[in-house]
A and B are shown apart, each in its own frame.
Chain A
Amino acid sequence: MSFKTKTIVILIVLSLTPYVITMFYLGNVYRQDLEERLIEDMEYQLGITIDRLDQNLEILEQDVRFMASLDIMNDILTGDLDRRITDMLLIKKADLDLLGEFDVANDDGIIVASTDLGRLGNPAAEASFLSVPVNSSFNESRIGQLSVSYRLENLTRLFANNDNLQYVLLEDGQAVNGGTIEDPLSVERSLNHAGLAVRLDQDRDFAFAALASLTTSFGLALVIGILVIAVAAYLIASYILHPILQLSATARSITRTQDYSQRVPVERGDEIGQLSSAFNTMIGGMQDMLARLREESENRIKLAKEKDRAEMLQSLSTKLSKYLSPQIYESIFSGERDVTLTASRKKLTIFFSDIVDFTSTTDQMESEDLTLLLNQYLREMTEIALRFGATVDKYIGDAVMIFFGDPHSLGVKEDAIQCVKMAMAMQERVRELQDEWQNAGFAKPFRIRVGIHTGYCTVGNFGTESRMDYTIVGSAVNLASRIESSARPGGISLSEDTWLLVRHEIDCMPVSSITPKGFSQAVPLYEVVRDQAGDLIRLQEEGVNITIDPSRVKAGERDNIRRLLARFLDEQDD
């Protein structure tokens, strides 16, 4: 049921209930009162009628008794030979306008006088309406009786009946006349004569006609009232509901369109207007909140995406880090270097190493052993490289390519020194590893060659946008590789460029120069001297630089050295 219908029903019920109750109550009271008055009135009228009938019957009885007391009743004894009794009875019947007959019977019960002559000589009826004894006037003895066969029409003809008001004579409870009114208002009273009563019937419809008319008027008023109130209720409900319907429509529209910019027009200042206003405020609040939520949600999504991306990148970079030099990795992932196809020219110290006779050695080893060995070797070397701040460019099989000077640089000289120190540490570690490997049962231990060169290289990302490699290119790289190839197993060969940078820090000695492929001139080489047993002879003073590794001095060279030294000493003596 809609609010409008409810309002109409409630208003009708509220406003008409008292009216209906009052009308019903008043109607009932009025009806009861009317009925009481009617009954009272009817009883009064009935009383008059009863009195009249009683009087009538009383007069009849008096007349009969009077007649019975007359002397002429003595004529009973003569059989009313002179018809004196009969004459008198006829006169009295006419006087009374009696419907019925007078009969006088003698003591033997034989009718001797009657207003109905045909009954003379007949036995008298045992019971009659009224019967009085007749005594002789001379000795007061009973000589007969005077009776009246009284027809009740004598009484009913006195009634002035009509369709609405009827007197009904009752004989032993049975209606003698009338009684044609259905469900009447009735009052009843007995006559003095035994067995007779009169009932006065009144037609209820007629009696309550005024009330019925009043009820019709009330009903009409009720219908008009209902209509008026229904219209008023409809208008009131519409007035009340209009903003609420607007609210509802707007709320539905907002739900459907999700457009929170919609507002309800506030037309009134009452509570419903305040509701509309509050609704608008609420929607406004929701709009703001939704905007914030949306923004927040977008931010969150962005953050989540970024987080996912970051996590992915983290994971990826963790994986990638294994393939990249930690410096490169750090440089890229810290954002210091863009991952673009850019390159720059820098002076770097380049390191190459490889395992001597690796191929022939590996042919004799089991694959698992080889992997174990190679991995351990590369791990150890990488650790050392990182310790010295090197950039591990790549592993090429058993060969390792390392450079110093990019992305971090301590200066060209320091880079070179660090590189040579690293190479020395590596050689030292390989020697230690040789012992371990021999102990572990590897028959032929590895030895490595190291070549170092310092020169200008192009460093950066090379390749395509989809696949690039951070590396260095240039002739310096080739030279470093060549130097490595020509290095003594277990030794560290330096180019001159490098040697010039490290010579004050690290003992080196010149070795035979090489002319690598693609180079027009011979390249002088130096080798780091390793003071293995403390028998290295070194003298570096102003004007003198002597380094002698006795283990590597060939027999023919001894005399040469002696001669040189003797010449210097001789010249000094002179």
Chain B
Amino acid sequence: MRLLFLALLCFPMVTSMAASNGYAVVVARSSSIETMSPGKVRDIFLKRKSFEEGVRLVPVNLVGDESPRREFESLVLQMDRDAINRYWINNHFQGVSPPATQASLQSMKRFIENVEGAIGYLPIDMVDDSVKVIYEF
């Protein structure tokens, strides 16, 4: 029921994916994940889901409030910063901490390359053979 609700909730996002702003959720090229729904991405980044096909997932955020994090939060997580902060404050007391961060897109990309199960986001134009796009936004 909940899943259904989420699926319904995510539908408009999926539809809006077609209208890409030039960003992509990426994983390492070697990852077995090929595509991922925005809802799953959201669950992963809110640390509601930790494993995918037996692999521990490691979401990575960019530091600060800059693009493409802003776009990622609004488009994919569909939460403003206050909500996100409240969310993590609540979760902090339950022992869940926000995703790891990287200060730059390059380091984000290298992190994704180097860490198994890492999942982050990059501008499309930065995507190369080392990473695999599983969702665009």
Contacts and interface: CB of A to CB of B under 8 A. Distances in A.
Contact of A137 (B100, B103, B106): B100
Is the interface on chain B under 10, 10 to 19, 20 to 34, or 35 or more residues? 10 to 19
Among B56, B99, B100, B101, find the residue whose CB has the most chain A CB atoms closer than 10 A: B100
A81 B100 contact: no
Contacts of A138: 56, 58, 99-100
Interface residues of A, number: 14
Contacts of B99: 138
Interface stretch (B31-39, B109-117, B121-129): B109-117
Given A77-B114, A78-B110, A84 B100 contact: no
A243 interface: no
A416 to B, nearest CB: 195
- Interface of B: prevailing SS: mixed
A163 interface: no
B114 A81 contact: no
Interface string A63-81: 0000000011011011101
Given A77-B115, A78-B110, A139 B56 contact: yes
Nearest to A71: B100
B58 A81 contact: no
B102 A78 contact: yes
B107 interface: yes
Contact of B103 (A79, A82, A136, A139): A82
Contact of A78 (B58, B97, B111): B111
Interface in A107-138: 136-138
A84 B100 CA distance: 13
Given A78-B107, A78-B110, A79-B110, A71 B56 contact: no
Contacts of A137: 97, 100
B111 A77 contact: yes
Contacts of A74: 100-102, 111
B104 interface: yes
A188 B97 CA distance: 47
B97 A81 contact: no
Nearest to B111: A78
Contacts of B114: 77-78
Contact of A84 (B58, B97, B103, B115): B103
Among B99, B103, B110, B114, find the residue whose CB has the most chain A CB atoms closer than 10 A: B103
Contacts of A77: 110-111, 114-115
A215 B115 CA distance: 78
Contacts of A81: 102, 104, 106-107, 110
B97 A75 contact: no
Given A82-B107, A137-B97, A75 B102 contact: yes
Contacts of B110: 77-79, 81
Contacts of B101: 71-72, 74
A71 B100 CA distance: 6
A78 B62 CA distance: 13
Nearest to B47: A138
A139 B100 CA distance: 11
Interface of A: 71-72, 74-75, 77-79, 81-82, 84, 136-139
17 contacts: A71-B97, A72-B101, A74-B102, A74-B111, A75-B103, A77-B115, A78-B111, A78-B114, A81-B102, A81-B106, A81-B110, A82-B102, A82-B103, A82-B107, A138-B58, A138-B99, A138-B100
Interface of B: 56, 58, 97, 99-104, 106-107, 110-111, 114-115
